[in-house]
Structure formats: structure tokens, C-alpha cells
A and B are shown apart, each in its own frame.
Chain A
Amino acid sequence: MVEAIAALPLVLPPTVLGFYLLVGMGPRTGIGRFLTHLLGHPLAFSFSGLVVGSIIYSLPFAVQPIVAGLRAVDPRLAESAAVLGANEGKIFSHILLPLASSSVLAAAVLTFAHTVGEFGVVLMIGGNIPGVTRTLSISIFDQVQNFEYAAANRTALFLIGIAVCALTLVYWRRNAAVTVG
């Protein structure tokens, strides 16, 4: 059930998710008023609001590989640890997490790369404010709108570089994990 809810942003159009997050963070909802009171400013059209929206939008990209990595750990290892006296916390931190570390890293890197390139949700929540909520993807959009193709190309190449680095890191760590296992 939790997994299914976490996977919801995968199938929702980013603008739909962004719209409801924008409404949810606004002064018309209890959560929005509470967050505004807590932070001293509204979450919408702020960098922290952008981070919150990106976390929610990118959650499935982190949850799915982490769950798959934890499920792939031989259950007999957790059983052995339990018989040796380890409690649930120690089993998770000393056995499951280290053995699923390549999945956790893959989740972190893919989520980061995905978040850097996000467009719809951040535009809805952030509103493209220069120096505050303008992301690289939105910059490319703006540059193309202004016919600055060379600048758009440089920004796009920078994003491609991030993606290549992310994938290299994921595959390098996965191969290292296979060698140790």
C-alpha cells in the first residue's frame, strides 16, 4: 500500500501533481497555513517549497530501487543476525542497509539526476523566479523562448554531463558490489 502510494507520482502528470502541491502549500489549506506559520513564509514560490515538491515527485525513483535492493538480500542473513541477538535496528543498519548499499546509491543518484532535470512540478510550485526557483530545465526553456540556442545547448550539455556521471557512478558501484558479493 505504502509502495503504491509512493509510486503515484510516476503515473500522475507533473503539472497535476504540481498544481495540487501548489494548492496544498497555499493559505487555503490547513497544512499550508501550518507550514507558513512554522517557516514564517509560504512554501509556494520559494526554494524550500521547490525542494519539498521535488522530494514528493521523485519519491518513487528512490523507493522502488531501495525496496528491490532490500528484498534481494538473502533472508537467512537477517535470521542469522536475529539468532545472534541483533535487534531489528541492528539488522537493518548492519546487515540489510550495507548489503543494499548499491541500490541506495543508485536511488540517490537517479533521484538527484531526475530532480535536476524536472520541469513541470518545479515550474508550478516555484514559478520560475530568477535566482530563487529557476532550475536548469526551466533555463533551457527560457533560453529557447529567447532564441538563445547556444546558451540552451550549453545548459543541455551540462545536464547530459550530470546524467552520464550519475549512470557511471551507479554502474561502477553495482559492479563493485557484484565483485564483493
Chain B
Amino acid sequence: MASLSAEPANGEWLRVDFRERRGELELDVSFASSARSVVLFGPSGAGKTSVLRAIAGLDIPSDGNIFLLGEDLARKSPQSRRVGFVMQQPSLFPHMTVAQNVAFGARAHSQSILEEFQINHLAHRLPAKLSGGERQRVALVRALAAKPRALLLDEPFSAMDAATKEQTMHQLDAWLLDNPTPVLFVTHDIAEVFSRKAEVILLDRGRVRGQGAAEIVLAEQRLTLLSRLNSPQV
């Protein structure tokens, strides 16, 4: 991919251009997007989670910059970035009930969002008493309750059964209609890429290999990608 100009263009909500070494992986990630829904797709170990962590401010790249909604994030703490980050392993606070987890950092009425996502029956349970799928739903709702400026979702449905996943995706889409928020969604599930109907950024071995509509990007990269999708992590 060609390197980006330093400043974000009109309409862009996200501009990422950084280099960083993460163990064996040399990340050199460069992309910009004005699509409100973006899927970051690639095999395990491609660097997808690292990109999300850098945007959230949890890792600081050694070189480069990230612009979110036109704002340079270089000197912004994770607290002041106001992004909603749902990690692959939902890190719910184990000593708090579901209601307390959702209320933590909430800028919206947490009870109503629990009802919106039909998990109010879990409100008084501790995370240890939830299934993997329920934990992911609570983590998603907790992130949304904080009214983020942008959403970073790292395989947020991976532990859900098919029916719950579909239901939660519909609920998320409905929430996004009411609360327009740009989303960067990470997955290595090809079915999810097509179901999101979003712009696709293909990441492989720490580099962006393609960007655009799913059909076009994935067709171009199909042969090389399929051979790597189930390979061990880099």
C-alpha cells in the first residue's frame, strides 16, 4: 500500500499510519477510511488486535500517527480517546455484577441499554456465573453504554452460538442507527466479513494487503489468504 499523507482528508474518521515491532511481528500498518463500518480482516497473528490496541491507546507505536475523527491521538490517554473497545476475551470486572459493569463509565442510562440488548435478566449476576457468549454481550453493552466516539470490536461474537450472534448483530445495528458511531470490527471469519456489508481492510503479516468492498478485496487475495487462514499464529 502507498504511504498516506500526514493529515486526514475530509470525511475520514480513521487514519492509521504506524510502525511497531510486536515480538516476531513487524507491523507497518497504513490505511484510512471514511466508511462508517470497517472490517479489519486477516488470519490469526496478522496484527489486527495490535491495530485496535494502538487506536485505543493501550499500546503506543514507536513511529507514526493515528487520527480519529480528525484528531491526532498521539498525546491522548486511553481515557480521553473515548473509544469503545470490546476485547476478544471480554474483561468484565469479576467483583461487579453485570449492572455494575455496564454502569462503570456509562454516559447513558445503563438499565435501558440492558433492556435494549435483552440482558436485563443478567443484571445481578457476577461474570463468573455467565456463559462465554453472555460475557461477550455484556462487554459489548458496557462499551456502548459509555457512548463512545468510535467502536473497536475485536471478534466480539466469537463465543456466541449462531442464533445469539445474529440477534446481537441485529441489536447492534439497531443501536448504531439510533447512535451513529463509526465501527472498526476485527474478525478472521469470512462469513462475518460478508454479513457486515462493510468496507474491508485486509491485513496480513503486519501489512495492509487490500482495501475496499469485500468481494473485490477477498477475490484478489483469495489464493494466498486461504492458504494462511488456518496456519499457526505468527
Contact = CB atoms under 8 A, between A and B. Distances in A.
Q: For chain B, what secondary structure do more than half of its interface residues adopt (helix, strand, loop), or is it mixed?
A: loop
Interface in B81-106: 81-85, 87, 89, 91, 93-95, 104-105
Nearest to A84: B105
Interface string A168-180: 0000000000001
A81 interface: yes
Identify the interface centre among A81, A82, A83: most chain B CB within 10 Å of its CB.
A83
B56 interface: yes
B205 interface: no
Nearest to A95: B93
B79 interface: yes
B79 A82 contact: yes
A40 interface: no
A77 B91 contact: yes
Contacts of B105: 81, 84-86
B94 A84 contact: no
A80 interface: yes
Contacts of A99: 94-95
Contacts, number: 57
A71 interface: no
A79 B91 contact: yes
Interface string A50-88: 000000000000000000000000101101111111110
Given A82-B77, A84-B142, 16 more contacts: A76-B89, A77-B91, A81-B93, A81-B104, A82-B79, A83-B58, A83-B79, A84-B104, A84-B143, A85-B79, A85-B105, A86-B104, A94-B93, A180-B95, A180-B128, A181-B128
B148 to A, nearest CB: 9
A82 B94 contact: no
Contacts of A181: 94, 128
B91 to A, nearest CB: 4
Contact of A79 (B58, B95, B104): B58
A15 B87 CA distance: 53
Interface in A81-103: 81-87, 94-95, 98-99
17 contacts: A76-B91, A77-B91, A79-B78, A80-B91, A81-B93, A81-B105, A83-B81, A84-B104, A84-B105, A84-B142, A85-B79, A85-B82, A87-B79, A94-B104, A99-B94, A180-B95, A181-B128
A85 B81 CA distance: 8
Identify the interface centre among A79, A80, A86, A180: most chain B CB within 10 Å of its CB.
A80
A87 B105 CA distance: 10
A80 B126 CA distance: 17
